[in-house]
Amino acid sequence: MPPTQQALERIAAALERLAPPAPPPTDWLGAPAYVWDGIAVRAVPALEALPLDALHGIDAQKVALRDLCDRLARGAAAHDALLWGARGMGKSALVRACVADVQRTQPQALALVQIAPDALSGFPALVAELDRHPRAFLLFIDDLGFDADGRAAVLALRSLLDGGAVPRPPRIRVAVTANRRAIVEREDTSTAIHERDERDDALALADRFGLTLGFHPADRETYLAIVASYTAPLGLAFDAEEAMAFAIARGNRSGRTARQFATELAGRAGLPL
């Protein structure tokens, strides 16, 4: 062997020893949920989710999304889902709860894959990887922005939903949450060009979801019922006016606010929630 070739082989061997070991392949069948940042994936050994019956004031939304997740797990036709509207009303919690509820009876049939909005440009590679595994996946994008900063993510997601050179398998579907309440409103009341562009982007994306679920601020009765659902199992009584004052101070009557108020009461009583 010529000396030059021997030297090159020694250099190659040395570089190989210095290189970090390749990460182990992801076990896409072994965990209930995953987190993907666009480059690496992390398995989540236990999906943190509330029971469905602990979510109040969104009964119709629960039925619709639970049915979608069940269809997806069974291999039946299923929509992509957009959950939009008021903050704190359980959009993200409902996605996790529905997947977890399906997993109780079909533990290996469906997994949740949470994706950062800024990682959407790598979607095609993720879909191609998931397509190699005999499992249904719900790709979850939480709190997608529709302003100028989030426009690139919106356009990337539209491209994914439209399909492309690599079609998306029917057992891979997308669930997106967004706090923008007017995302599906058709009336154009904007005047600034950038506002119209943002609205048009939002509508163009919303049109690509077969299931759109709106979440609205809780009225007084619903909000107090949610508070009671958290406090009653602990044997805690509460003052309705104090509960309302707590919500007013936060500018939001929602399931999240109700849970925060119940946490305050439980803490005062020295109880866990």
Q: What is the pLDDT of residues 15-57, one digit of tens each?
A: 454 444 444 567 899 899 999 988 889 999 999 998 998 888 8
Per-residue model confidence (pLDDT) at position 140: 96
Tokens 């019956």 sit at which residue?
A: 53
Q: Which residue has the higher pLDDT, 261 or 7?
A: 261
β pairing state of 172-178 and 81-85: parallel
Residue 152 has pLDDT above 90, yes or no: no
- Tell me the β-bridge partners of 214: 84
Per-residue model confidence (pLDDT) at position 247: 95
3-class secondary structure, 122:
helix
Confidence tier at 120 by pLDDT (50, 70, 90): confident
What is the percentage of the chain residues whose pLDDT exceeds 70?
A: 77
3-class secondary structure, 44:
strand
Q: Taking residues 66-85, what's their average pLDDT?
A: 96
For the entire predicted model, the pTM comes to: 0.80
Per-residue model confidence (pLDDT) at position 192: 52
Per-residue model confidence (pLDDT) at position 116: 83
Per-residue model confidence (pLDDT) at position 193: 47
Confidence tier at 167 by pLDDT (50, 70, 90): confident
Residue 199 has pLDDT above 90, yes or no: no
Confidence tier at 186 by pLDDT (50, 70, 90): very low
Distance spanning both ends of the chain, measured CA to CA: 73
